[in-house]
Every structure is written in structure tokens, then in C-alpha cells.
Structure 1
Amino acid sequence: MIDAAAELFASHGYSRTTLARIAEAAEVSVETVQAQGPKRSLLGAAVRLRTFGREADESILDVPESGALLRQESPEGFARAAARLVSEINARSSGLMRAFASAAADDPDIEAEWSEVIRLVHGNVRDLVALLRSRDWLRTDVGTDELAASVWIMIDGANFEKLTARLGWPAQRYEDWLARSIMELLFPARPADEAMRAGRWPTRTTDAQSR
């Protein structure tokens, strides 16, 4: 039922998605949908499910989806894993987040839900940046709070939609851009990073190597 609600909110917006439509899409009764609480609660649950993979509020450090990210042993590996995870999340949730933001502008109760989700996203980003700080990977000329805020802005679903839907970037180009951007933002420049920052990933054969 939450999945059905998420699809409808993303494709039709909040106001045009009725409980009856959700019930029809989920193949349940309207009464069953109503038992889940007001429509805004369904919206909040849908956003959490699409964004975090679960309806409960948990730190990204504690959920299985972040396993590949937390196992990385280098800044390069972390940047690539983070970009892949964010790309996957935005692909499935950006439309829903757009509907959420639009609904929040007109309803104080939804605005409160929206603020809570935004707080959760920012908190997850800050947890990850603090973890990188504990590994001594981060640049030292910018504080943890500012780095976390910058990453939080960078990964926003609205930016994903601008680049993929508006500019027509394929998913892989967005992922490559995000990985390079994370590298440039978070980590101090090192000689080993120069090829990556020029758009040539170490895992690929460069022109010089091919010769």
C-alpha cells in the first residue's frame, strides 16, 4: 500500500492523489487505507520507504543498505560507493520528494513532516562525514558541519532531476559527476587523485596506459 501511494504521489502529486486512488492501486479497501492514518502520514511513510528503504527513522550507519559504503577502505572507494547509493536513492525518490515539497508549501502539518525528513537526511549525511573525519580522510581546512551541509545540498533530489531530466544526463554520467564532486569537496588533493579529478577513474584505462 505504501508503494502504491508512493507511485501515485510521485506521478500525480499530493493533492490529486486521493485515498480512493491509493486503495484502487493497492487493491485494498478505502477503509484499510484510512486505517493507516491521514494522507499526510502516508506521504511521510512513502518518502521514508523510497529514500531510506524503511519507514522507521534510523541512522544510515545502522541500516544494511549502507554496508558497501561503510566497508570502503579509501576515499576513492567511498566517493564511488556514495555516488552509486545516492544515484539509486534519487532515481526512486526524487519525484516523490518533489511532491512532498510542493505539498509542504500549502499545509503546515505536511511542512512539519517535510522538515523532519530533511532533518533526517542531513543527520545521516553528517554521521557519514563525521565517520570520515574519524578515519582522518577529510580535508582539514573546512569544518565537519560545513562539509556535511555542502554534501547535503549536493545530493538533493532536485539537483538530480535538473541534471538527468532537464539536461538529459544518463544515470552513469550523474554518478560519475557526483563521485568526482564528493572527492573534490571532502578530501585533500593528492597526486593519486589527479586523474580522477580530471575525469579519468583509476579503474579505467587512460590514453597513456593504452599506449
Structure 2
Amino acid sequence: MAAQRYTSPLRAEQAAATRRRIVDAAGRLFAEEGYARTTLTRIAASAGVSVETVQAQGPKRSLLTAAVSVTTFGREGDEQFISAPEGRALLAAADLQEFIRRGARLIREFNERTYRMWRAFGAAAADDADVDAEWSQRMAYIRGNIAEVVGVLDGRGWLRTDVARDELATGLWILSTGEVFEKLVVRVGWSPDHYEDWLARSMGDLLLPR
């Protein structure tokens, strides 16, 4: 009889805690130093682990993807947004106006936490084909989640009907990017409140029935 595998709950918990320290350290360094300057050695030193332990977590580009997810949601994983706690809370809105207000606040909060990482991600993608493939996959995932949200809104009869649903999803995806947040808040100098108000108006212009 083959020996049964036994995984110690304590060992699994320790491994998860170690990974979280590594991902958190990588995220801080990516945001502060950029992708190229964030070496595995620096991640290891910041997390208080060996380089070998960092290497065991996967390639550096995957650590960047994980860091974006953890910084955004507090957890890793590619769950459907509409099934996640944040998505369920957003879609609990009583009408489209409330959805827009909640959505603008949520997008602001996400971007305040992650725009520096998205900057590092985009810069690295321009120079590295593997990172670019990861970037493209992440963009497709986000856009797909937004398309699902738009589908729910359309099913409720809340959306304008003179623009294709796919175009509405694409427009909402573009409005919500960290790049737009950075341009308006960091480069132009808007306050986060101003950005949130602008985003809500822009979402309304895009989605509200004519």
C-alpha cells in the first residue's frame, strides 16, 4: 500500500505566512524601486528569507502579479470579481447612480494602493516579452471581470442601449486604470476626491441611459 501523504496544517500555515511576507516585500520594492531594480536578493533581504525561498515562489514577474492582487484585494487568486466580497457589495447597489458612486470610490481606493505597481508593471512589459505576456494576461483578466459586471447591469436594464455592451465595458476598463489615476492625481495634481468626482461623472456619461 502506498504511503499516504500528510500535510501538517502548521507547516502549511507557515508556508503561507512566508509567501505573504515575500509578496508584501516584493510589492513594496516594485512600487518604490521599479521592476528592474527589484532583485530577488533585495526581496529576500526585505522579507527576511533566503534567496532560494524567494526563487521557490516562482519567477519575479509572477511575484509582481501576486503583489498587485494582494495590494488590491488583500489576497491572491483570480476569482470572479462579481463573486468576490468587493463585487457583491458593489452590485448590491439599489440603482445605477448608487453603483456609480460606489464604483468610483472603490476604483479610487484600488488605484491609490496600486498605481505605482502598475507603473512598474507597464515599464517592465515594454522591455521584457515574458513580463509583457503576463501584463496582457492581467489586462484581459481585469477587462473580462469588468465585462461581467457590465453584463449584470445590462441584465437589470440599467444601461444605455445606444452603445454596444462590449464598448461600454471597454470604456469602463480604460477609465478605471491606474495609469489614468496617476496622470490626473500625480501628474496633473488633482486631489483624490477630485479624481473620484471626475470618475463618477465620467462613468455616468458612459453608462447612464440617454
TM-score range for the pair, normalised by the shorter chain length: 0.7 to 0.9
1:60 paired with 2:81, answer: yes
Q: Determine if the alignment matches structure 1 residue 24 to structure 2 residue 39.
A: no
Aligned-residue CA RMSD in angstroms? 1.2
Alpha carbons 1:48, 1:117 under 8 Å: kept: no
Find the aligned partners of 2:25 and 2:37 in 1 and give their Cα distance. Answer: 14
Match among 127, 144, 155 for residue 106 of structure 1:
127
Offset from partner CA, 1:151-189 (integer Å, 9 cap, x none): 111111111001100111111111111111111110114
Query: Which deviates further from its counterpart, 103-112 or 130-139?
Result: 103-112
1:138 matched to which residue of 2?
159
Distance apart, 1:66 and its partner CA: 2.1
**Identical aligned pairs, as a percentage?**
55
Aligned length: 189
Alpha-carbon offset, residue 52 of structure 1? 4.4
SS of 2:209's partner is coil
Distance 2:74 2:152 in 1: 21
Query: What is the aligned counterpart of 2:90 among 44, 69, 76?
Result: 69
Q: Which amino acid aligns with 1:170?
A: S
Q: CA deviation at 1:51?
A: 3.4
The offset of 1:85, in angstroms, is 0.7
Q: Deviations over 1:119-149 (max 9, x none)?
A: 0110111011111100000001001001001
The code of the aligned residue for 2:195 comes to: Y
CA distance in 2, matches of 1:40, 1:78: 34
Residue 52 to residue 112, structure 1, CA distance change in 2 (3 Å): farther
Gaps of 5+ in 1: 190-211
State the alpha-carbon separation in 1 of the partners of residues 117 and 135 from structure 2.
Answer: 12
Q: Which moved more, 1:139-148 or 1:48-57?
A: 48-57
Aligned equivalents of 2:151, 2:29: Cα separation in 1: 36
What TM-score results when the alignment is normalised by the length of structure 1?
A: 0.86
Q: Distance in 1 between matches of 2:69 and 2:91?
A: 21
